[in-house]
Structure 1
């Protein structure tokens, strides 16, 4: 058979001595086909300049082979799409989607879209959605769940909401962070974060668990509502932490971004970290190790999280049973916590 740009999948199957279904999977790099067979089929396709007719395939299967990643983030809450955390998560999602033969449609902050199911799935823009940013209990997620369309959320499991999540064990991570501060002799530990967000609510629960376990009474005055940004961490430090009547000897912040703002303001005020105020953050932002002092933090496996979001969404699309995922976290100890 001579080389031709009009070769069909059946022709490739004949040349490779396999079924059309095997060719289809191999060209999508599916792990259902063994590595050697995949490589052989892909080599034949390259040799004959074979290109998948995407439009014809989508029409035939009624699938777009596209995943929409919807970022429900808001600058009002200190979210920035350019944040290192989001960049790593999006990169992992993109890599895993490509591995399964899917394209990505990235949509940022679609406030004017009330019906996410209709806009993304019913309109054939995507086969399923990955939602990043539970926000303050966005009612659109509940409506999306009621529609029965395939989607998954990065965040915390909430039994009162009928949708599946992939996230981290936020409560345990916060418990370990605050327990470390307690072991290092700290007794007035401030919490900086916005507990109206489900993940941050779980971190506040872990903070309270650690205080309770240490016999330290909870003091609501030590809870400082703070958004996710460095600027708000900086501002709240100036307005609250440095107030002479506040008197804390440690801070647990729900984001390393907040910690970076806190540390800058404390440095300007000549308050020593960790000697006077010990600090632990959350996320293990790439900048955490380069801060002075290095930031003790709770590491989330963000790359694994991106992979699981894609894999579990594809299982949902295929009608498989999927459960919530709360990934283990790791306490990374650096200088900011005042370790012994």
Structure 2
């Protein structure tokens, strides 16, 4: 005797006396459908040997079950923390999506382009975006909010914001990096920041200030310079810092990639790291560990951050719940300090 079969979602909907969208959500284990209805529909599907057609389901639900990972297009002309950090974060997002049945599409954008979101969303290629850019991001955030496009940001939430975020505890990161350098006897501790107007950089500088104030030290403006997270800016900013403060004996750098540039310049001046100048970086990228001179740094849990970016965006798409997560950071001591 042949097993009973049904051909379409409409058939299941008719048998269960519910809408097509309810069937689609139930078969996809959506929390929007109550457990009793979900189990009843899934039981009917099993009874009639129904296998949902994924492309048809996505079309009828206007869902692609794909997220777009947004980052700046990489020209290969500059070695930046954004490129390196983004690659490691991409791995965490991918790992978070795998068990949830979602795919990931990399969306390279130009810094001043605001048309890309329409192109991807209107074509049905993605259901939402993971936004990881660190510079010139406010305009992009405003565009996505105004268009009502689901997204999650790697960065800090804004007052009364309606979008999801995951970020690291940058104030604590700046504080514990500077406190460590103070404890190890360093007297003139520089701050080598990323872009001055970025909130993450401001928070890291605030942590640096707190540590100096708590130690009863004067905040010297000549000890503070800014770059753009790139390896090149690490070199040029370190040069400026030493010109302003030749007796510098330590520096807290806002990214591991910039720290590599700073170390390169320090050594080119005939100085030793850490004997003459101690260096603490930020992020704990792989290159900080697997380097000729492993970098003392502030570790952000990048795999966990990526996983939460994936899970919380999908939760927002399915339920509308806005989440803002602040992840702890920790000091990792290696050879540069």
Q: TM-score range by the shorter chain?
A: 0.7 to 0.9
Cα distance in 2 for partners of 1:135, 1:81 equals 9
Match of 1:143 in 2: 143
Alignment match, 1:204: 205
What is residue 86 of structure 1 aligned with on the other side? Answer: 86
Q: Is residue 241–residue 247 contact of structure 1 (8 Å, CA) maintained in 2?
A: no
Classify 1:254/1:311 alpha carbon distance in 2 versus 1 (closer, same or farther; 3 Å): same
Q: In 2, distance between residues paired with 1:150 and 1:284?
A: 29
Q: Structure 2 vs 1, CA of residues 120 and 216 (structure 1 numbering), >3 Å: closer, same or farther?
A: same
Question: Does the aligned pair in 1 maintain the 2:82–2:229 contact within 8 Å?
Answer: no
Distance across 2 between alignment mates of 1:141 and 1:268:
41
In the aligned structure 1, how far is the partner of 2:27 from the partner of 2:97?
A: 16
RMSD between aligned residues: 3.3
Q: 2:249 aligned with 1:249, yes or no?
A: yes
Q: Deviations over 1:21-40 (max 9, x none)?
A: 799448x9xxx99xxxxxxx
Partner residue, 1:191 = 191
Q: Distance in 2 between matches of 1:298 and 1:9?
A: 54
Offset of residue 116 of structure 1: 5.1
Q: Please give the secondary structure, in 2, of the residue aligned with 1:298.
A: strand
Structure 1 CA distance for aligned equivalents of residues 161 and 220 of structure 2:
30
> Which SS does the other structure have where 1:178 is aligned?
helix
1:312 corresponds to which residue? 312
Q: Is the 8 A contact 2:170 2:203 kept in 1?
A: yes
User: Which whole-Å deviations, capped at 9, do the CAs of 1:83-107 have from their partners, x for residues lacking one?
Assistant: 2x22221012122223211122211
- When residues 119 and 24 of structure 1 are mapped into structure 2, their CA distance, relative to the original with a 3 A threshold, is same
Q: What's the offset of the Cα at 1:208?
A: 1.3
Contact 1:73–1:135, Cα closer than 8 Å, also in 2: no
- Tell me the distance in 2 between the aligned counterparts of 1:184 and 1:81: 30
State how 1:1-340 maps to structure 2 within 5 Å.
24-25=27-28, 53-72=53-72, 79=80, 82-83=83-84, 85-111=85-111, 113-115=113-115, 117-159=117-159, 162-193=162-193, 194-237=195-238, 239-243=239-243, 245-337=245-337
SS in structure 2 at match of 1:318 = helix
CA distance in 2 between partners of 1:246 and 1:252 (Å): 16
The alpha carbon displacement at 1:224 in A equals 1.3
Contact 2:80–2:231 (Cα < 8 Å) also in 1:
no
Measured in 2, the distance between the counterparts of 1:326 and 1:73 equals 27
Secondary structure at 1:180 match in 2:
helix
Q: Tell me, in whole angstroms, the C-alpha distance in 2 between the residues paired with 1:165 and 1:57.
A: 29
Q: What is the CA-CA distance between 1:301 and the residue it aligns to?
A: 0.5
| Partner secondary structure for residue 319 of structure 2 | coil
Taking the aligned partners of 1:115 and 1:292, their CA distance within structure 2 comes to 43
CA distance in 1, matches of 2:73, 2:201: 15
Work out the number of aligned pairs and report it: 310
TM-score scaled by structure 1? 0.79
Q: Which runs of 5+ in 2 are unaligned?
A: 13-22, 36-42
Tell me the distance in 1 between the aligned counterparts of 2:93 and 2:203: 24
Alignment partner, residue 20 of structure 2: none
Q: Contact between 1:74 and 1:80, CA under 8 Å: does it hold in 2?
A: no
Higher relative contact order (CA 8 A, sep 6+): 2
Find the aligned partners of 2:6 and 2:71 in 1 and give their Cα distance: 40
Q: Unpaired segments of 5 or more residues in structure 1? A: 14-19, 34-40
Partners of 2:199 and 2:128 lie apart in 1 by 23
TM-score (norm 2): 0.80
Q: Label 1:223 to 1:74 Cα distance change in 2 as closer, same or farther (>3 A).
A: farther
Relative to structure 1, the CA distance from residue 232 to residue 110 in structure 2 (aligned partners, 3 Å threshold; closer, same or farther) is: closer
**Preserved contact between residue 81 and residue 255 of structure 2 (Cα < 8 Å):** no
